[in-house]
Structure 1
Amino acid sequence: MFELMAPAKVNWSLYVLDKREDGYHNILSLMHCIGLYDTLTFEHSDTIELITNMNILPEHNLVYKAAKSLQSYAEIKDGARIVLKKDIPSGAGLGGGSSDAAYALIGLNKLWGLGLDKDELKEIGSSIGSDVPFFFNCPMAIVEGRGDILTPLEMDISYPLLLVKPAIPISTVWAYERLGAKGKAQETKTELTKTMDKFNNIQLIYKALKTGDVSLLKSSAHNDFEEVVMEKYPIIKDLRRKLLNAGASMAIMSGSGSTVFGLFEDREKATNAARQFSSHWNRVVETYISS
């Protein structure tokens, strides 16, 4: 029996580009792993068993789907008993389900002695969920395509963040549909020419984080989902404003929501600010650095 910790992520910037022929959208994002974790415990069993504190059927969980996918890929009948303890909230834009799937693949690869390399596991993961491949590239990566094209990045500085999540889960499918209905996703070739500007902006954000000069983050960080999610849930806008008023140097929604995170000068200031958000789920965490 052994245990793995599956981290959450935040998006420093997220652009939704054109819609693909397979129904997904191409994205461009800067993702960063953070110190908030789900815990997965693995041991041998005759069948695939998943025990979790989530209120959904095991076969609908990405961990279970990852186990079945790996079992099929490796053409084996080995089983596993997986206990999943959730601390990353669902529908929060923090990638908890995708991280769980990635670490299920890592854990089962070890448990079953398969010896698969990271690229093979990423390929299996991409068939389970768009964000799954990223979690093989912590601490940080530029993410493109449907989430399967990754440029891993080094990071030597850890930043304290205050995460605040209102009591509303956001469906990623709903967020994409809303974005499409508003015409916010890029559709034309003319608009696609702007992608390089977005990529350059992400490079600017990375450089700011890499050097510790975060003064530009407030104006350069961007999330295409924010506007459409705020229209339906104004509390997201309120939380972002309150984080800035509480001393955050920048605040932005992560992923498709509903978590909003603020960047603080130090952990003490983030912890003090968290007291203003006691009516919501909140956590003070730190971003990953390169090992």
Structure 2
Amino acid sequence: MLTYKAFAKINWALSVLNKRNDGYHDIISLMHAIDLYDTLIFEPSSGIEIQTELPIKRVNNLIYKAIIALQQYTGIKKGIKVTLHKQIPIGAGLGGGSSDAATTLKALNELWGLNLGVNTLQEIGASIGSDVPFFFNLPLCIVEGRGDIIKPLKIEKSYTLVIVKPKFSISTKWAYEFLNLETELTTEYKKINNNIWQLYLLLYEGAYSNFHSWNDLEKSVSRKYPEIEKIKKKLLEAGALMSLLSGSGSTVFGVFNNEVDANETLKIFEGYWCKVVQTLTSY
């Protein structure tokens, strides 16, 4: 039996560059793991068993897709029982399903003695979901392409965040399709690439008072869901140094100077799913 933690992530920055011929979008993003996690327990079994309280059909479960993808890649037909204790909300822009999938590939690689390298596991993971490759390279990366080009980065400082999710969830597919309907994507790659490296250097140095973060999905998502902007405003009024939609949402996060202020802020979000978390510095 193996027990793994599958960590969530936030996006410090997310630029959508263009729509690809394969239907995905090219992006450039600065992604950072946080200390919110799902717990997955793996045990030998004669078939594929997934125990979870989630109302998701097995064929749509990314854990199941990861198991099938690994079986198909290796030709191994071993069974596995996975018990998922879910803490990362669904449809939140926190990468919970992708993290569960990456964790499943890592665990089965160990449990089944496959000895597959990280690059191979990333390649399998990319066939399951665009965010999956990131979770093999925690805690901080610049992510490009459709999510399959990864540049791991060092980070020594941890940041205190308040993360707030409204009652609704957002489909990643919808968020990208809605963006195409709402705006022309004319982002200049070189400018964005420079800006994202500057943002990383500020994070590394701890100069968070100078943050300039962005999310190309935020404006169009907020038009459909105006509560996003209301949450951002509340976080800033409560003392957040900056606030941003994570990924395609619906979670919004704010950066705070300390845990005391962050915990005090939770009081104004009664009725919401909200937590104080820390960004990871190692994994």
The verdict on a shared fold, with TM-score over 0.5 as the criterion, is yes
CA distance in 2, matches of 1:60, 1:259: 22
> In the TM superposition, what is the alpha-carbon distance from 1:216 to its structure 2 partner?
1.7
Q: Which residue of 2 aligns with 1:206?
A: 200
Unaligned runs of 5+ in 2: none
User: TM-score w.r.t. structure 1 length?
Assistant: 0.96
Query: Letter of the aligned partner of 2:134 in structure 1?
Result: F
Q: Which residues in structure 2 correspond to 1:54-69 (within 5 Å)? A: 54-69=54-69
**Secondary structure, counterpart of 2:250 in structure 1:** coil
1:34/1:288 contact within 8 Å kept: yes
Q: Does 1:278 align with 2:281?
A: no
Query: Letter of the aligned partner of 1:199 in structure 2?
Result: N
> In the TM superposition, what is the alpha-carbon distance from 1:32 to its structure 2 partner?
0.1
Unaligned runs of 5+ in 1: none
Query: Letter of the aligned partner of 1:273 in structure 2?
Result: T
Q: Which residue of 2 aligns with 1:269?
A: 261
Q: Which residue of 2 aligns with 1:99?
A: 99
Q: Which residue of 2 aligns with 1:138?
A: 138
Say which of 223, 235, 241 aligns to 1:243. 235
User: TM-score w.r.t. structure 2 length?
Assistant: 0.98
> In the TM superposition, what is the alpha-carbon distance from 1:278 to its structure 2 partner?
1.5
1:51/1:58 contact within 8 Å kept: no
Count of aligned positions:
283
Q: Which residue of 1 aligns with 2:83?
A: 83
Of 266-275 and 9-18, the range deviating more from structure 2: 266-275
What is the root-mean-square deviation of aligned Cα atoms in Å?
0.9
Q: Which residue of 2 aligns with 1:227?
A: 219
> In the TM superposition, what is the alpha-carbon distance from 1:201 to its structure 2 partner?
1.1
1:37/1:87 contact within 8 Å kept: yes
Instruction: Among all aligned residue pairs of Structure 1 and Structure 2, give the percentage whose two residues are the same amino acid.
Output: 52
> In the TM superposition, what is the alpha-carbon distance from 1:128 to its structure 2 partner?
0.2
Residues 242-276 of structure 1 deviation map (CA, whole Å, 9 limit, x = unaligned): 00000100000000000000000011111111111
Runs of 4+ in 1 over 3 A off after TM superposition: none
CA distance in 1, matches of 2:55, 2:35: 24
Residues 120-140 of structure 1 deviation map (CA, whole Å, 9 limit, x = unaligned): 100000000000000011110
